[in-house]
Structures are given as structure tokens and as C-alpha cells.
Amino acid sequence: MCTGRVDLELVLQAFSRGADGVFIGGCRLNECNYTTGGNYDALNMALLCRRLMEHIGLNPERLRIEFMSSGEGIRFAEVMNDFGKKIRELGPIGEGEGLDAAELETDLIQIIRLIPYIKLMKNDKLATRLQNPAEYDKLFTREEIEELFSELVSYYIDPKLCQACGICARKCPVEAIAGGRNLVHIIDQAKCIKCETCFKSCPARFAAIRKIVSEPVPLPIPEDARIIVREGAR
């Protein structure tokens, strides 16, 4: 399998299920077997993941990515022995960092839920093709990851503008929007992955969906106040 298919979610899910370390091995850079450059995608994903791990207090050395050919058996063995030694030194995940297990699980779940948003915000950098290993540490900075979470975006449907057309609900990839015929739609913030699909799909003539940055989202209106009475039905 091409390392380009190793998604950020797969790595974080492994950690959330108790893996003490994750190793990704791929073809040498610029020697992609599928000519897709998937190993560059994997590299960028790993660099981003390591910064996200740092953000929640996990040692980024629990994730390692290496590139080698199928003929480098000796090097592969050396790398795996070295990685295994490092993981033993770090100890069980979370415990070695002095993190509370429940809090770590909550942090990992939150990041996993926000992966579509993170990818959207970092799409340009994720498409980068770094040639110099000295640039790896600079691709994603600690400051920009802090900013990413401090300026978190949320979406809210304005009950005064919603026309219950249902477009946003039909297009939401995680079914986070509740609504119905003649019923103001609402976004379940716990389910929302901040992918922006609803914001982009809301018809311009309604413009009912607001993009909220670093501010609390208004509480949803009461159920009985969500009913839309059309002019012809008055």
C-alpha cells in the first residue's frame, strides 16, 4: 500500500487505542513506484501529526517515518531496532509524558473530529514537496498549531434567515444538521467537523449560515420557535 494512503486519522486512531508508537515506512523520495508522490504526502502528514501530538503533550518521537527501498533489509532492521528502543525508553503512551489517560483520550478524539477542518486550513502546506530535510521542522510551526486551535471556526444557522430549504442538511457529510419541512435547521456543534460544506452550500439569497471565529456559538432556539410560517399559510 502506498504511504500516501496513510491518513492522519489512522495514526491518531492508533494512539487513541493505546499504541505506544507508530512507524511509517515508504519508498525513497523521488522514487515513487506509482509516480504519484504519495510518499511526500505521507511525510507532510507525519510532520503535521507530530506537531499536533506536541500540542496535546505527546512526545512526537512516538511517530516515525522513514524512506527506503525494498532492498535495504539491513537498514530496515536497524531503523526498527532503534525505534523499538526509543519507544521502550518513552514508556506507555501518556504515562511516559505524565498525562492523565482520560484527558489524553478526550484530546485525541477532539483532534480526530477536527481532521477535515485541519486539512482544509493546512491544505497548501500538505501539498508541499520538501527536498531538504533541514526544512522539515519548519513546515508546521508550534505557533501556527496554537493559532489553529485558538482561532477555531464554528458555523451557526441564523434562525431569522433560514428558509428550511434542506440543502445544507443534505450536503453535510456527517449529518450534523437537524431540520425538516418548514423547520429552522440547527447545527449540532458536537458532531460538526467544521468542513465548511454547509457555509458554501447555503443559497446566497438566504445567506443563513454564519461563520464564527473564536467566539461562543449562540444556543439553538427552542423547538417550538423553529416552526416557519409561510406568508401564504397565515
125 and 9 both lie in a single domain: yes
50 φ/ψ angles, rounded to the nearest 5 degrees? -65, -40
Output the pLDDT for position 35. 76
160 and 135 both lie in a single domain: no
pLDDT band at residue 233 using 50, 70 and 90 as cut-offs = low
Domain boundary among 92, 115, 150: 150
DSSP for 73-103 reads: HHHHHHHHHHHHHHHHHH-STTTTTT--HHH
pLDDT digits 0-9 by tens, 30-44: 887 777 889 999 999
82 and 145 both lie in a single domain: yes
Distance CA 103, CA 4 (A): 30
Rounded average pLDDT over 50-65: 97
Containing H/E element for 168?
A: helix 167-171
Number of domains in the chain: 2
105 and 26 both lie in a single domain: yes
Domain range for 176: 153-233
pLDDT band at residue 165 using 50, 70 and 90 as cut-offs = very high
153 φ/ψ angles, rounded to the nearest 5 degrees? -95, 140
Q: Is 124 helix (H, G, I), strand (E, B) or coil?
A: helix
